[in-house]
Chain A
Amino acid sequence: MSDRPSPDEGLSPAELAAKYGLAVSGARPGLGEYIAQLWGRRHFILAFSQAKLTAQYSQAKLGQLWQVATPLLNALVYFLIFGLILKADRGMGREVYIPFLVTGVFVFTFTQSSVMAGVRAVSGNLGLVRALHFPRASLPISFSLQQLQQLLFSMIVLFTVAVAFGSYPRLSWLLILPILALQFLFNTGLAMIMARMGSKTPDLAQLMPFVMRTWMYASGVMFSIPVMLAEHPEWIGDVLQWNPAAIYMDLMRFALIDGYGSENLPPHVWAVAGGWAALVALGGFVYFWKAEERYGRG
């Protein structure tokens, strides 16, 4: 097409771009604009998470019934092993221990599956990342949202278990909402951190199950940390109790179970719960955004 004279002859590509107001393709937007873009995609984020959730069981004959049946079976297995065979209750009494155990399992699973989904959020969706434009943070957020919806199904089981063991609905059950909100923020932040790390090093998907299992056993999912570590130096128990997974679990138990009073909670528990959520959510978001233009490189 060089047969036509052009007034732009002799301009370098960069100068030409500047003259007509062209922008660099695929450049990272500023943080404010990024948040605005993300907000604009909120319907996609929600629809994507719901689609993933539905697709999960769409081939099964019982279909969406598995949303409830899976956590129920999970709780049953833990009860069988830790409640009946190992008797890890340590004098807690069955009517406290069973809901204690089930709450622990569900609350921890929420964080665990958010982390695992986060690791693969970008690396497992390269096709999507390379085909369409959207703020990439949509992916980890959407996956965390999927886990939140999954947890809401588990809550049906959890309420049933609580009632079956004599903890009836009372005012403190309302605390579940802020607890879930804080944990969701924490999980999303963590998922974004894992998503960036996993996009660079997909090997994390192999490694994380072991990290998560260690974390689970260290967070007192099936035992009470202060009781279990009574003979050890106090600081070990303190450290374990202040870890975010233990904090959210303990808060949820406190809200839900009749015989699990505030004496089981570490001091300043709400401040710690909020602090973890704010720190990880904000930190994770900025950390993820910093690499926005690099996701999708093969």
Chain B
Amino acid sequence: MAEARIPTVIADELHIVYRVNGAKTGRGSATAALSRILKRGSDDSARGVRKVHAVRGVSFTAYRGEAIGLIGSNGSGKSTLLRAIAGLLPAESGKVYTDGQPSLLGVNAALMNDLTGERNVILGGLAMGMSREQIKERYQGIVDFSGINEKGDFITLPMRTYSSGMAARLRFSIAAAKDHDVLMIDEALATGDRKFQKRSEARIRELRKEAGTVFLVSHNNKSIRDTCDRVLWLERGELRMDGRTEDVLKEYEKFTGK
């Protein structure tokens, strides 16, 4: 009972604000833009910069060995919160403390559609911070896992020739090839056909074993139940509930009227 629980992620009154240029009046006219520049010295709202307060004062502590689900309706700030934990989005106020470098499962942005799958595997691996040797070692594993070559030699074709399902599978395979201290997964389980989903769920469980702490964003309550033992429920950027998976999901399902 009294085993020492080691915290891996601590969020302390975290606020995240996005700023959108020129969305204040809805008029993108030249005069509006000019007056915005001229009013530079004054505060943001006068300059027509609209603020979107995506995460409002969220605090929690995550411990080693936990798998934490993040739920909430669209636009409730789940993905933003993950990015802030990963240190990818600067906080407006408040702080996130982490043990090691949390990483987001996803390399989509580093991949290029005009390059072959082969080169994308290497590029994606390097982008995630793997060494060339590590990539070489795992290359075959990544390709086999994605199942890209099951229907012919597709890995040497540019990614733009892939079907959307194939591309998503390759992306997941690249992203899941690395080991992480704190792993964050943003709805990655919904890609590919049934067979691939099974395989990726198994891989997630494997990653969970290796990683200290796992965060999972999903709209699929079943996959949350299957993988998580604690759930954070975000609504309008605020932490509405934090507790055991069953308790939170029961409330959440009541809330969404399911």
Contacts and interface: CB of A to CB of B under 8 A. Distances in A.
A134 B127 contact: yes
Interface string B1-24: 110111111111000001110000
Interface string B27-43: 00000000000000000
Interface residues on A, range: 35 or more
Central interface residue in A21, A47, A52, A131, by most chain B CB within 10 Å: A131
A207 to B, nearest CB: 12
Given A13-B61, A128-B110, A133 B87 contact: yes
Chain B interface SS verdict (over half) = mixed
A296 B158 CA distance: 29
Contacts of B114: 54-55, 58-59
Central interface residue in B108, B127, B131, by most chain A CB within 10 Å: B127
B219 interface: no
Given A13-B12, A26-B96, A4 B1 contact: yes
Interface stretch (B115-123, B143-151, B187-195, B198-206): B115-123
Contact of B98 (A25, A43, A54): A25
Contacts of B236: none
Given A14-B95, A54-B115, A132 B110 contact: yes
Interface stretch (B69-77, B99-107, B250-258): B99-107
Interface string A192-210: 0000000000000000000
B131 A22 contact: no
Interface residues on B, range: 35 or more
B88 A133 contact: yes
B87 A25 contact: yes
B33 to A, nearest CB: 9
A55 B108 CA distance: 16
A62 interface: no
Given A20-B7, A44-B126, A48-B123, A1 B230 contact: yes
Given A13-B61, A24-B97, A131-B108, A1 B88 contact: no
A47 B123 contact: yes
B98 A293 contact: no
Given A13-B97, A26-B86, A51-B119, 16 more contacts: A14-B12, A16-B61, A22-B9, A24-B97, A26-B96, A43-B131, A44-B126, A44-B127, A47-B126, A51-B112, A128-B127, A133-B103, A134-B127, A297-B19, A298-B19, A298-B20
Interface of A: 1, 4-8, 13-14, 16-17, 20-27, 40-41, 43-44, 47-48, 51-52, 54-55, 58-59, 125, 127-134, 293-294, 296-298
